[in-house]
Every structure is written in structure tokens, then in C-alpha cells.
Amino acid sequence: MVKSLRNIAIIGEGVDARFNQKYAELEKESPTEAVIIGQDGIVNSYSYVGYAFMNENWFEKYSKDAQNDSSAIDRLLVNLVKAADGNARSANLTKIKDYLANPPESMEESVQLWKSFYDPEFKEI
């Protein structure tokens, strides 16, 4: 029997107890795999149904110059949208798409918006 997994992209550093609790809930619903997104970006062989931002400054893992230049983060977010499962109903995917459709005018606003992607309670994936 082939087990069908739904993949959740883990963005940023570390995994904590609150995420582990959310992951256990997701696993009870349907087999779920947490795929850690490395510094080089996404793994092309996966499609994602959800996105978990692991900390407020998640973007620092993907760009050392994120405070001054959004291009690396924008590229990562575009790739995450491209890798979304066609049936994904992810609240965080919606946040990503909204950001890409209407990027802030200043870097300070971009950084604040990126920080807002993090949900410390992991209510939205």
C-alpha cells in the first residue's frame, strides 16, 4: 500500500514543542511530513499543503542581507507558491500570495510583514 503524505514546509530555524503539538494534530487527521526548507530554498520534488514559519526572524536564515534587500526572500516566497499543492487551503500560503501581489513600499514594512508570518501558537499552517 502506498502511503500518501501531505507535506508541510518548515521555514526558519528550529522546531519547538508548540509546533510538535500541532504536527501531532495534523498527523492524526492525515499522514503528514514536515519538510525543512534549507538555506538554498525548496526541494522541488515536494508540493506543499501548508507552511509553518518557525520564528519571527525566519527570513534571516535565507538572506544575510534581508534587512536591506528583499530579492532573496521574494525568490524563496515565489518558489513556495509555485510548489503549493493545487488543493492547498493554507492561511500562510494566502499571506505569502498577498505579500507578493502587493509588496510593501519600504524595506522596514517588508520586514515587519515577514515577521507577521510567524504564529507562535501555530494555529495557521
Each residue of 19-60: pLDDT tens digit?
Answer: 999 999 999 999 999 999 987 777 667 899 999 999 999 999
Confidence of residue 107 (pLDDT cuts 50, 70, 90): very high
Assessment of whether the complete model's pTM goes beyond 0.85:
yes
Q: For 29-43, 65-79, 92-106, which range has the lowest pLDDT when averaged over its residues? A: 29-43
For residue 124, give the nearest of 8, 5, 1 by alpha carbon. Answer: 8
For residue 9, give the nearest of 97, 105, 79 by alpha carbon. Answer: 79
Domain boundaries, the chain: 6-116
- As a whole-number percent, the residues of the chain with pLDDT over 70 amount to 96
Confidence of residue 64 (pLDDT cuts 50, 70, 90): very high
b/e per residue, 5-18, with b = 16+ CB within 10 A?
ebbbbbbbeeeeee
- Is the domain 6-116 a CATH 3.40.50 member? yes
What per-residue confidence (pLDDT) applies to 4? 73
Does 3 have pLDDT greater than 90? no
- As a whole-number percent, the residues of the chain with pLDDT over 90 amount to 81
